[in-house]
Structure 1
Amino acid sequence: MPVVSHAKPKSGADRLADALGELGVQVAFGLPGVHNLPIWEALADTGIQLIGVRHEQTAAYAADGYARATGKLGVAIVTTGPGAANTLAAVGEAQASGSPVLVVATDIPSTLRRPGMVRGVLHETSDQAALFAPLTKAQYTAGGTGEIAGTALTAARLALRPQSGPVYLGIPTDFLSATAQRVPDTPDRTPVAEPLDLGRARELFERAERPLIWAGGGALRAGAGAVIGELAEKLAAPVLTTFAARGLLPPEHPCLAPNSVHAPEVGALWDEADLVLGVGTDFDGLMTQNWLMPQPPTLVTVNVDAADAAKNYQPDLNLVGDARTVVTALLGELPPKEGLDKLTARLRRMSAAVRRRIREDEPQAADFLGTLEEVLPEDTILVSDMCIAGYWIGGFHRIPAPRKLAYPMGWGTLGFGFPAAIGSAAAGAGRAVCITGDGGFLYGCGDLATAAQENLPVTVVVVEDGGYGMLRYDQTHSGLPHRGVDLVGPDFVALGKSFGIRAERVKGFGRAFRRKLGAFIQADEPNLMVVEAAMRPPLNTSPRWYRKER
């Protein structure tokens, strides 16, 4: 007799949940809406934790923060029209920073759509996927219930594939409730790199007298730190890391140059180099002071995208491929150079000179950075917003390991810090410490409710200087009056307590700050500290770049 199955037929939402489970997703971030409720129902029957946030922008930022902390796929689940549109700033930051984020957004029912016409359906846009076209690697829209799983897998794999980045997946809401058999997946075809000219690269390295390694975010995302460190020791070459590559090498590595290249002492390494090896980088304007750093005499690049490697400085040799794989191959028969001890001694003197410069330039910043280095456990994930304190961290804090700094440079999106910290805290990779200004924190302070409801291990440090401190400095620097930068703000301590979160206030970055931060990061629950302080911005902010147009 034929076997009769009594299993409940799977809906489109169930197919999506199956696909996310197949991808190994453990945490997603979302905000419910009338169109996406079936997804919430389907995920309730899985082991995937769906953390409800208070704004769709937070969902995408949190997915980004999660991806940066783990190297895994970050998932944001939002509803149709304005819900999807609310994620765009965060998606732009994920794209600029190479974060693998999958944005799953519902769309209006397919049965109500009319080609070339906006009829006025609730949340309707003429082309929702097109909103994401400039900000994502690709945009997919499921063509039927049976296509949801396969399309989700294809989109997610593309987001994760180097160069990683965000991908949009749209699902007409009627497909979520309908039942259908799963359509077979599209095979994932990873591009095959062309054969590498390793012999020529080794010849260039052997001839170089003053080699330099410049490592970017692609090197960190590829897990290339160990092999880059080994190559640097073989070449007796200093290693400069970009904002996206902070933590690639441990602070005690003998070849790691002090941050940041915007300090003249460190920038001299670039000027002196007769060969630069750029690994996983596009030499962007923020790192090169808008390309005022001169073209190196010889430039060798390692990048999965040849065009990306060559768009700002023309390489003499471009090795196309995964950073870890290519650098490992380069190590093969490369003879070691002399001078490692001499280089290490020079870098130590350089580091001391940079620290003296910071102490003389902005004593509060020296106190701030010193406290972070002394108090924070090594597994702490620092998440900085676009604020003066955040710029000091991005430029000059010693990051102990990969994926322990999330910094929006990047696209430079104000308001990134706190919602990204929610995602980092949910990753289970260490306590998240968010450094934000009073202006940027107000972008997403409502998600204190999320931190409290989920009891997330996050400490928020709000540096309160009465408004947009960086913009105030820009106006002062340009001899302009202050307009739009001096802001009325809430009592942040009372605000935190209103959400049931422990909150306290200190003045400046002295002993009280050090004592309270040490206590706050030992807590199991979320907390908030307000620091009354105004600092001068560091050398890595554009008004203070030392290289000038000639």
Structure 2
Amino acid sequence: MSSAPTCAQVLMRLLREYQVEKVFGIPGVHTIELYRGLPGSDLQHVTPRHEQGAAFMADGYARASGKVGVCFLITGPGLTNAATAMAQAYSDSIPMLVISAVNRREDLGMGRGRLHELPRQSDVSRGYCIWQHSLTQAEQLPEVMHRAFQLLGSGRPGPVHIEIPIDLFPAPMPGSIDDYRAAPAAASPAASSTAIETAAAWLQNAERPVILLGGGAQACGTDATSLAEKLAAPVFESLAAKGIVDERHPLCGGANLSFDAVRNRIESADVVLAVATELAETDRNLVRENYNFKGKLIRVDIDAGQLVCNANPDLAICADAAETLAQLNRALPEGNAERRDRVAGELEEILQACRKEWWPGSEERFPWVQALREALPDDGVLVTDSTQLAYNTNHALPLYQPRSHVTCTTGYGTLGFALPAAIGARLSSERDVVALIGDGGLMFTLGELAVAVEQQLPLPILVWNNAGYGEIRDFMDDAKVPQEGVNLRTPDFVAMAKSFGAEGCLIDRPEQLGPAVAEALSRNTPTIIEITAP
């Protein structure tokens, strides 16, 4: 007769039942019994060099794949080390499950000075998680996991934190390990027939409709494209939505919401369909002033609260974005090809006007953007950090597929994201991934290069080296503030890469980028490609 499974074993079983394949974590003395449940679970464990890296890897994994990213963290410092990355995921609505230890139940709240003790640990993560739960009985675990995955798979996602007292990991669970199964996923909510009829009528009768896509529309690429063609409507994307509609399509205006030419087109529209977007300043690339919608505004969002955030709609549809766009496509007739061609020509003029609005310095970086576009495979994933060249790729580098733009330049806007997030993205599939990060940002999470080496990832890491925090330096100059704290001593990145067991090269001309990326993608190890910024 087999022995009863432990709480840790059931946890691993349920993760696999929910199609989790990889977990990112650093073992600690408080998670020894958790890790006893890992062998035989068919889960692949990836060990970062810092818990922040673990959560960034889970984030990149989730963004590139659409699956849940999972972290294992120790009590106290493990959780607080991951806090920044969890907050970034919360800001960008990324499905992330964080399993952490917490001190024994008998010690909770007692202030006995136990190892890794953090008073009210659950309060720390509650502010940047969509749900936080503290397990008090091992038998509660299946219900808690079912609830977590329902929240992660339906509604507006974000980080979920489950903390488990260390005395519960080895606790016996009832029945056999085979008794523990995933709960069925919730069906996606569709819009009401009345709402679809109203929206379809407004859109069909519109002379100058516009479609705005946000990051919650990742599953809407085909339907958004079809809808644009039926309506002869230009589609504009937030940075989180970049690539959802193929940016080569003549009706796609890309992620150019920060420019006046696009703003004017949106404000002059008689109907705007805004899908799964906050209409926030981060969607507009930090342009604070919101649009002055002169026509009707239709908003579609899974989160009812977001339907009135930043702009009140004329029609609010609380439903799944993909379901709603599919319903609208069924309700609308085929469009007029002549009208589509005319709108496409107008959009081309708008995009040309956008280029004239680029901020100073963009033109000299544009050849690098073009070279990166040529180097990146059509189905490749671009992962970017907050760095000057990335601000240009945001709007000037077209992407062709959903989930091909993984960036932290919106929302919470941390530094050090791109390297670990690119590792997570590359581990999520066989798609090629290219990371772009600045010399300052790379130093935040440099240790994760060792993980890419261990995992033998063919990962080009482009380091835009301007010897400091270049964007902030420019802002200081514009504001006539003396430069302070923005000029950095940078290491020899190529030598440093080789010390990790990676490859490295130094380039200073755009025409060198393509061959360097191609060679990096052919290797079974990461490559730092240091770019001397002009």
Equivalent position SS for 2:528: strand
Between the aligned partners of 2:55 and 2:520, the Cα distance in structure 1 is 27
| TM-fit CA distance, 1:56 | 0.3
**Which position in structure 1 is the counterpart of 2:380?**
380
Preserved contact between residue 451 and residue 526 of structure 1 (Cα < 8 Å): yes
| TM-fit CA distance, 1:192 | 5.4
**Which position in structure 2 is the counterpart of 1:494?**
495
Preserved contact between residue 154 and residue 186 of structure 2 (Cα < 8 Å): no
Equivalent position SS for 1:102: strand
**Which position in structure 2 is the counterpart of 1:240?**
236
1:276 paired with 2:272, answer: yes
**Which position in structure 2 is the counterpart of 1:396?**
396
1:519 paired with 2:519, answer: yes
Name the aligned partner's letter for residue 513 of structure 1: L
Preserved contact between residue 279 and residue 302 of structure 1 (Cα < 8 Å): yes
**Which position in structure 2 is the counterpart of 1:543?**
none
- Once the two structures are overlaid, the 10-residue window that deviates more, 169-178 or 190-199, is 190-199
Between the aligned partners of 1:173 and 1:436, the Cα distance in structure 2 is 38
Preserved contact between residue 268 and residue 293 of structure 2 (Cα < 8 Å): no
Between the aligned partners of 1:266 and 1:531, the Cα distance in structure 2 is 32
**Which position in structure 1 is the counterpart of 2:141?**
148
**Which structure 2 segments of 5+ residues have no match?**
none
Equivalent position SS for 2:97: strand
Between the aligned partners of 1:176 and 1:349, the Cα distance in structure 2 is 62
Deviations 1:171-222 (A, max 9, x none): 10111112121698888766856734222222222332111000111111xx
Between the aligned partners of 1:178 and 1:279, the Cα distance in structure 2 is 46
1:133 paired with 2:129, answer: no
**Which position in structure 1 is the counterpart of 2:49?**
54
Name the aligned partner's letter for residue 300 of structure 1: I
Preserved contact between residue 69 and residue 429 of structure 1 (Cα < 8 Å): no
Between the aligned partners of 2:383 and 2:188, the Cα distance in structure 1 is 33
Preserved contact between residue 60 and residue 422 of structure 2 (Cα < 8 Å): yes
**Which position in structure 1 is the counterpart of 2:425?**
424
Deviations 1:401-425 (A, max 9, x none): 0111101113111111111111111
Between the aligned partners of 2:481 and 2:331, the Cα distance in structure 1 is 59
| TM-fit CA distance, 1:517 | 2.3
Distance 1:396 1:162, change over 3 A: farther
Between the aligned partners of 1:109 and 1:267, the Cα distance in structure 2 is 55
Between the aligned partners of 2:6 and 2:454, the Cα distance in structure 1 is 30
Between the aligned partners of 1:335 and 1:432, the Cα distance in structure 2 is 39
Q: Name the Cα RMSD after superposition.
A: 2.1
| TM-fit CA distance, 1:359 | 11
**Which position in structure 2 is the counterpart of 1:178?**
171
Name the aligned partner's letter for residue 380 of structure 1: G
Equivalent position SS for 1:50: strand
1:23-172 equivalence runs, <5 A: 23-113=18-108, 115=109, 117-172=110-165
1:301 paired with 2:294, answer: no
Aligned length: 524
Preserved contact between residue 26 and residue 49 of structure 2 (Cα < 8 Å): yes
**Which structure 1 segments of 5+ residues have no match?**
535-550
Preserved contact between residue 259 and residue 266 of structure 1 (Cα < 8 Å): no
Equivalent position SS for 1:482: coil
Name the aligned partner's letter for residue 385 of structure 1: D
**Which position in structure 2 is the counterpart of 1:541?**
none
Preserved contact between residue 376 and residue 521 of structure 1 (Cα < 8 Å): no
| TM-fit CA distance, 1:122 | 0.8
**Which position in structure 1 is the counterpart of 2:215?**
217
Distance 1:361 1:436, change over 3 A: closer
- The percent of aligned pairs where both chains have the same amino acid is 31
**Which position in structure 2 is the counterpart of 1:539?**
none
- Once the two structures are overlaid, the 10-residue window that deviates more, 335-344 or 306-315, is 335-344
| TM-fit CA distance, 1:360 | 8.8
| TM-fit CA distance, 1:85 | 0.9
TM-score relative to the length of structure 1: 0.91
Name the aligned partner's letter for residue 458 of structure 2: P
